[in-house]
Structure 1
Amino acid sequence: MNATNRTVVVTGIGATTPLGGDTVSTWDGMLAGRSGVGPLKEERYAELPVRIAGQIAVEPGEILPRPLARKLDRSAQFALIAARQAWADAGFTAKAGEDPAADPDRLGAVIASGIGGVTTLLDQYDVLKEKGVRRVSPHTVPMLMPNGPAANVGIDVGARAGVHTPVSACASGAEAIGYAIEMIRTGRADIVVAGGTEAAIHPLPIAAFGNMMAMSKNNDDPEGASRPYDVDRNGFVMGEGAGVVVLESAEHAAQRGARVYCEALGQGISADAHHITQPEPSGNGIAQALRNLVDSTDFKPAEVVHVNAHATSTPQGDVAEIKALRKVFGSDVDHMAISATKSMTGHLLGGAGGIETVASVLALYHRIAPPTINIENLDPEADADIVRGKPRVLPEGSIVALNNSFGFGGHNVVLAFRSI
């Protein structure tokens, strides 16, 4: 099919996060302003400078059959759970080919991870050292591959139009969804299952991030540790989980009578070319991603009423993002309700863009923006309308929400969605 510029819509959503094992419980937790962060109680974390994280609310072993789960890294387990939710939510009752509404040759999957099967790699290395070569799992390689989550989701739904794995640190999940939008828009696929997943809560990554001074060490106050835009913010809190959406051409969705959450307008991408870990402080790279988004889509700045901000709770990053929004949208920022949901979920790294897309979609669909928690003293440099205290009702009419994701290496991805 040589179609171009087809309209893309969201027809299914799925999630498993520190706030809940599905989309409903996660969304309810966000609207309630509940933190999913808690102490890491295992002995192996006892000597680390960081002993808190947003651990998954419902363990995959409670959902997936044991024979399947033992062949999957946690990142793939999360992705599969979220993807199955999204697939069912979109109205499909079986994998492509078995469900006549989904043609496997017109179905794609794009599932990202910033780190991939890191826990499998580290745990199996411990097995090798402590128990010997014969005890290393034969499933280790497919479990540790960064494309493992995407491959397993693709197999599960029967996707044959292409299965892809963008790896762009904490921008990975958003880049996956942007790539999926383009797959549909340009005619490569009619349906794409897309999102991000991460499972990196392990002593080594936490020690490494901690030694970089990137993570909060507020071990005595786990629930209050992730505090975007607060003057006393001191680093992100690691989370784990996955967020997945089903994207579809508007024509295909209409033909099968699918429920539509919103329109997926497109993506804007740029790179800072500044530093491997630090954001460009003026926000120029982020601003360019926003301009690229505006230039490649048809929404007007005044339509943007909600932003799910990247806002990880780092001193430099939170402010650079606000500066970028001001550079591009000027005074229009004053009517954008900005939410930083990482204050509740922690930072899901490569999964962040996935779960925050789910949150953006639900904000448009229900016309309500979740609050940002833990802001006791708002940083005066956060010159924007930060939603605090309670959810914010969004206006009627045609409205647009943005989802911002930025990653180590200077990767900037911005997604836009419009109400139906």
Structure 2
Amino acid sequence: MAGMDVAVTGLGLVTPAGNDTARSWQTICAGQPTADVDPGLAGNPVSISCRVTGFDPEELLGARRAHRLDRFVQFAVIAAREAVADSGLDPATWDGARVGVVMGTAGGGAATFEAQHRVLMEESPSWVSPLTLPMHLPNMVAGQLAMEFGATGPDLVVATACASGATALGTARDLLQLGRCDVVLAGGTEALLNPVTMAGFAKMGALSKRQDMPAEASRPFDVDRDGFVGGEGAALLVLERVDDARARGARIRARLVGYGATADAHHVTAPHPDGVGIEAAVRAALADAGAVPSDVGHVNAHGTSTPLNDLVEATMLSRVLPHRPLVTSTKGVTGHMMGAAGAVEAAFSVLAVEQGLVPPTANLNKLDPKIDIDVAARVTPRRIDLAISDSFGFGGQNAVLAFARA
């Protein structure tokens, strides 16, 4: 029922496209790729990435706290501060027991673990930091956010690989609709641009090899795509029930009206070749929203820029949405932000619905002739009553969110 609809009242972003929501969205709408040579990956088989730049954790968090938080938590705290401020809520006055935190991450503090393993091997066990576990454990991002904002309700982290951020938002919606919380801070965060993780992706053949042209490397749905570019960052959304948000006079950016989650049960890294699992997630999200396929005006696709995944997703979209809504993959700008991707792209979907703008897909020079969908090559003004955001992860884990106009 309408009173149980979930409102998005706050957004916070830290992405390769910008260190806040406004700058990130501006770069996305301009279709400006952020991939570049990454000195932190020097010596790796692939040494390009989409890093967050101009992010000074000591300035933002203070030196002592910054040194006690892994980068994936630093991103989340700063994004959450923006989101809570944007919502107009005051943590000093809210009932913390009714405030929850649900975050998604694929790898947690992998960079901290890698660095401390190096200390163990090169020095001795006695030199390993006592902060190793508090910094690298994935659940610590939710714990740190709960402490930051005095949120003493449900506090958890979900890990569904590259669908994690979307899964977190769907789980948060469930908590609100079940009456477990009145406010949930939900999203995803990731900082996996460390040598071991990225070497693993390279050995799998998942990464683009366009190291001489990094800005052109992430090219979703393009005929010449050859793999994804790794990214990092965070997105936080403040979620409330619509009636509660309206009662306090809050600005509602969009409504989260549907969520679908499925498993391919097919392969550890490849999607089902017929896209049956991802199709089921799309249809489940639409059914949850009380919508039909023709209601969809825009799709923020998973669109990783890998040959197989883009083709499977596009084939599914052409089958499920024959009216050909405009499709975008914002990974052409940000690269693949892994566990944060679903939340970041959900935030971009909210902005698209709110502002009536379909952002472009960067580096789309020539659509793959095997792909039969309409992919936005430029920013396009358009009223969007319903948008869906697709997220898929290793292990065949799928999550799709549906957002409607406020």
Q: TM-score under structure 1 normalisation?
A: 0.94
Following superposition of structure 1 onto structure 2, how do residues 2-81 of structure 1 map, counting pairs within 5 Å?
A: 6-42=4-40, 45-61=41-57, 62-81=59-78
Following superposition of structure 1 onto structure 2, how do residues 109-148 of structure 1 map, counting pairs within 5 Å?
A: 109-148=101-140
Moved more, 217-226 or 63-72: 63-72
Q: Distance in 1 between matches of 2:399 and 2:104?
A: 13
Q: Counterpart of 1:157?
A: 149
Q: Counterpart of 2:374?
A: 385
Amino acid at match of 1:75: F
Q: Structure 1, residues 264-312: CA drift from partner, whole Å, max 9, x if none? A: 1021011111100011111111111112112222123222111110000
Q: Counterpart of 2:206?
A: 214
Q: Counterpart of 1:82?
A: 79
Q: Is the 8 A contact 1:4 1:187 kept in 2?
A: no
Moved over 6 A (4+): none
Task: State the SS of the aligned residue for 1:165.
Answer: strand
Task: State the SS of the aligned residue for 1:405.
Answer: strand
What's the Cα RMSD here? 1.4
Instruction: Give the superposition deviation at 1:361.
Output: 0.4
Q: Is the 8 A contact 2:3 2:241 kept in 1?
A: no
Instruction: Give the superposition deviation at 1:145.
Output: 0.6
Q: Distance in 2 between matches of 1:207 and 1:255?
A: 51
User: Does residue 259 of structure 2 align to residue 259 of structure 1?
Assistant: no
Q: Is the 8 A contact 2:235 2:340 kept in 1?
A: yes
Instruction: Give the superposition deviation at 1:73.
Output: 0.8
Moved more, 184-193 or 58-67: 58-67
Distance 1:250 1:5, change over 3 A: closer
Q: Distance in 2 between matches of 1:267 and 1:177?
A: 9
Q: Distance in 2 between matches of 1:50 and 1:327?
A: 35
Instruction: Give the superposition deviation at 1:75.
Output: 0.6
Q: Distance in 1 between matches of 2:250 and 2:109?
A: 34
Q: Is the 8 A contact 1:109 1:150 kept in 2?
A: yes
Moved more, 125-134 or 33-42: 125-134
Q: Distance in 1 between matches of 2:330 and 2:375?
A: 11
Pick from 232, 238, 241 the counterpart of residue 246 of structure 1: 238
Pick from 406, 409, 413 the counterpart of residue 392 of structure 2: 406
User: Does residue 337 of structure 2 align to residue 341 of structure 1?
Assistant: no
Q: Distance in 1 between matches of 2:54 and 2:155?
A: 27
Amino acid at match of 1:400: L
Q: Distance in 1 between matches of 2:51 and 2:132?
A: 23
Instruction: Give the superposition deviation at 1:59.
Output: 1.9
Amino acid at match of 2:199: A
Q: Distance in 2 between matches of 1:256 and 1:152?
A: 27
Instruction: Give the superposition deviation at 1:35.
Output: 1.1
Identity of aligned residues (%): 42
Instruction: Give the superposition deviation at 1:60.
Output: 4.1
Q: Distance in 1 between matches of 2:397 and 2:303?
A: 15
Q: Counterpart of 1:170?
A: 162
Amino acid at match of 2:245: A
Amino acid at match of 1:408: F
Aligned residues: 405
Q: Is the 8 A contact 2:257 2:288 kept in 1?
A: no
Q: Distance in 2 between matches of 1:92 and 1:297?
A: 27
Following superposition of structure 1 onto structure 2, how do residues 233-312 of structure 1 map, counting pairs within 5 Å?
A: 233-312=225-304
Gaps of 5+ in 2: none
Amino acid at match of 2:132: T
Q: TM-score under structure 2 normalisation?
A: 0.97
Moved more, 150-159 or 28-37: 150-159
Q: Counterpart of 2:405?
A: 419
Distance 1:315 1:5, change over 3 A: farther
Amino acid at match of 1:306: H
Q: Distance in 1 between matches of 2:61 and 2:215?
A: 29
Q: Structure 1, residues 57-116: CA drift from partner, whole Å, max 9, x if none? A: 2324242211111111111111111111101110124x2xx22xx211111000110111
Instruction: Give the superposition deviation at 1:188.
Output: 0.8
Q: Distance in 1 between matches of 2:149 and 2:356?
A: 31
Q: Distance in 2 between matches of 1:316 and 1:151?
A: 37
Distance 1:4 1:137, change over 3 A: farther
Instruction: Give the superposition deviation at 1:172.
Output: 0.4
Q: Is the 8 A contact 1:6 1:186 kept in 2?
A: no
Amino acid at match of 2:19: G
